[in-house]
Amino acid sequence: MPLLERFDTPASLRDVPETSPLYQNWSDQVSSLIDGLTPSPSGGGFYDPTKLDIQFAGEKAMTWMGLPRRQLLPESRDNKRAAYEAAESFANRQHQDEYFEWRSERDASGKIRKIAFVTEFRQYYQELWNIDPQLVVGLYRKILDNDTIQKSDLEDPVGTYDILNRWNTTHGIVHYINDINTLKAAVNLCRDAAGHDSAGQNNFEAGPPFAMAPTAVDPRIAYDVNMLVRKGLYVALRDPVGFYIAAWDNAGITKPNGRPAPASWWKIKRGKPGMVLRLEYEVPASEGFVVGDLLLGGQPIEFGGQLAEHITVVIHGTAGTMTRGGRGDGG
């Protein structure tokens, strides 16, 4: 894998000019979390591609379902409605723990009008705020189509960016707020998986870390990373590092008259195909009905989780072997 000059922003976002310190600050933050090579008993490891030059061998897409696995098993395995309801029953989205969060916006009658799904890190917005809070205000206005949002809406009493501001909780959604869904947690998951041998060598006998976690994402990444490292490969998160909405299934969604709903009602609002950070589902006003009037598999759409179950989330890894000398500078 070629030595990177720096880590890019998620989905290669360009919310500010290239001359902004944001880009180097973001790269430094990612690099500091990786913090060098994590050795493995097998000889491979998790590494920082801005510091170590690895001969690229291939990529690995690690995917899982957006609906939280823990809401399905075991209590709600046979009660999907309970699972959907539980997944969005808290304003702070504490049950949405698959590096995938969403919010259902409802009309005056309580029917869903729009659902927004996100995979953006809070740390990105905090970095922007540190440079200029008005940058974040502008992004909020653009993302939420609301020009009334003010700086005071997004800060705490001492002027610090408040990730739990109302436009990211009760009145909207912009990025992750669940304490589990953080950049640090993602990097640590890979580091820990790379540093142990699931064959039981050394001090880890129960398989890679998080292998028995109740989420879908943790075992998926843990097993895949650990498997590659056990082969003696060096593993990194593919640049730009981020969780992305990989795919969504429009099959089974029907209008009130029974006809299939068009796939065009899904809209990419942030990111780009292959690296989607914000996906929205909304029925055009000209149709005369809302999302809550649609059926999915013959059942009314009452919760955003019904669509989340048909959305795939992904993070990409790369693997390779050590080059001669071990470093891009020949050192």
Q: Is residue 328 predicted with pLDDT exceeding 70? A: no
Tell me which amino acid residue 30 is.
Answer: V
Q: Are 176 and 99 in contact (CB under 8 A)?
A: yes
Share of the chain above pLDDT 70, in %: 88
Angle, vertex CA 158, rays to CA 156 and CA 162, nearest 5: 25
pLDDT of residue 2: 54
Angle, vertex CA 138, rays to CA 134 and CA 140, nearest 5: 115
**Arithmetic mean of pLDDT, 77-88:** 82
pLDDT of residue 327: 44
Of 5-19, 63-77, 109-123, 145-159, which range is least confident?
63-77
**Arithmetic mean of pLDDT, 258-282:** 97
Give dist(CA 62, CA 34) in Å, integer: 19
- How far, in Å, are 288, 294, 315, 331 from residue 114 at the CA level? 14, 12, 26, 54
Beta strands, E only, the chain:
38-39, 45-46, 54-65, 101-106, 112-118, 234-237, 244-248, 253-254, 266-272, 275-282, 295-296, 299-300, 311-322
Of 138-147, 216-225, 318-327, which range is least confident?
318-327
pLDDT of residue 38: 73
Cis link prior to 74 (omega < 30° from 0)? yes
pLDDT of residue 195: 74
Give dist(CA 111, CA 303) in Å, integer: 9
Q: Is residue 303 predicted with pLDDT exceeding 50? A: yes
Give dist(CA 50, CA 67) in Å, integer: 34
Q: Is residue 306 predicted with pLDDT exceeding 80? A: yes
Q: Are 235 and 318 in contact (CB under 8 A)?
A: yes
166 or 194: whose pLDDT is higher? 166
Average pLDDT value for the chain = 89
Q: Where are the domains of the chain?
A: 10-121+176-322, 122-167
199 or 258: whose pLDDT is higher? 258
Angle, vertex CA 41, rays to CA 40 and CA 44, nearest 5: 45
Position of tokens 């109302």? 166
Sign of the CA dihedral 167, 170, 174, 179?
Answer: positive
Q: Is residue 251 predicted with pLDDT exceeding 80? A: yes
24-54 tens-digit pLDDT = 999 999 999 988 777 776 678 899 999 988 8
Q: Is residue 296 predicted with pLDDT exceeding 80? A: yes
169-209 tens-digit pLDDT = 999 999 999 998 999 998 988 888 887 544 434 333 445 55
**What is the token pair recorded at 192?**
């820990």
**Arithmetic mean of pLDDT, 83-108:** 89
pLDDT of residue 202: 39
Work out the pLDDT band at 222, boundaries 50, 70, 90: confident
Work out the pLDDT band at 103, boundaries 50, 70, 90: very high
Tell me which amino acid residue 316 is.
Answer: H
pLDDT of residue 209: 58
Q: Are 11 and 242 in contact (CB under 8 A)?
A: yes
